[in-house]
A and B are shown apart, each in its own frame.
Chain A
Amino acid sequence: MRATTADRAQPAATAYLICAAAWLLPGLGHFWLGRRQKGITFLVALTLMFAFGLWLEGALFPFQVSQPLVALGALADLGIGLPYIIARAIGVGAGRVVVITYEYGNTFVIVAGLLNMLVVLDVFDIAKGRK
């Protein structure tokens, strides 16, 4: 399963660029490094998970320094990259606290972002030739 691009360590600047791409679009980093199956799996699974969370009326938390837990939630939400930006742009993710699935939706959205952060770390290891 190892691809030729991933077999050699990338220069530091390239590794960070690949990580940025991996953050922006889930799976793009693995795709860039030649691990297409993994890239497609991450793209489909993480984007679906994020969208499912929004469908459950989960919220995209605002960055409020006065409320550290809300700010942490916002940071986790941002971890998914482009889907977060698109959701913000089209105005979804307001979240409705009275809906029974609100907390479930939050969990899906937050965990999708956190999992994409793990994917970015995995991409970094691959780009540096550690995996």
Chain B
Amino acid sequence: MTSHFSLMVIFSLFVSVVFATLMRDEPSEQLAFAGRLFVGFVGAGTLIGWLLYPLPL
């Protein structure tokens, strides 16, 4: 529950829901947009994590 990855997932979930609710009016659009944002946040976080893995050199 308190691992870096699980906290990133929970954080992404909250932020995605709020952004999607702000930027879309219809619930179905909100859900789709929140899903895309969530996947983007978690995917980008994971990718950047892997890229930073060798650091510090």
Contacts and interface: CB of A to CB of B under 8 A. Distances in A.
Interface of chain B: mostly helix, strand, loop or mixed: helix
B44 interface: no
Contacts of A118: 18, 22
Interface in A43-97: 45-46, 48-49, 52, 56
A25 interface: no
Contacts of A100: 2
Contacts of A115: 15, 18
B21 A41 contact: yes
A2 B25 contact: yes
A37 interface: yes
A3 to B, nearest CB: 11
A33 interface: no
B27 A37 contact: yes
Contacts of A45: 14, 17-18, 21
Interface residues of A, number: 23
B32 interface: no
B3 to A, nearest CB: 10
Nearest to B23: A122
Interface of A: 1-2, 37-38, 41-42, 45-46, 48-49, 52, 56, 100-101, 104, 107-108, 111-112, 115, 118-119, 122
Given A41-B21, A48-B14, 15 more contacts: A2-B25, A41-B17, A42-B18, A45-B17, A45-B18, A46-B18, A52-B10, A52-B14, A101-B2, A104-B7, A107-B11, A111-B15, A112-B14, A118-B18, A119-B18
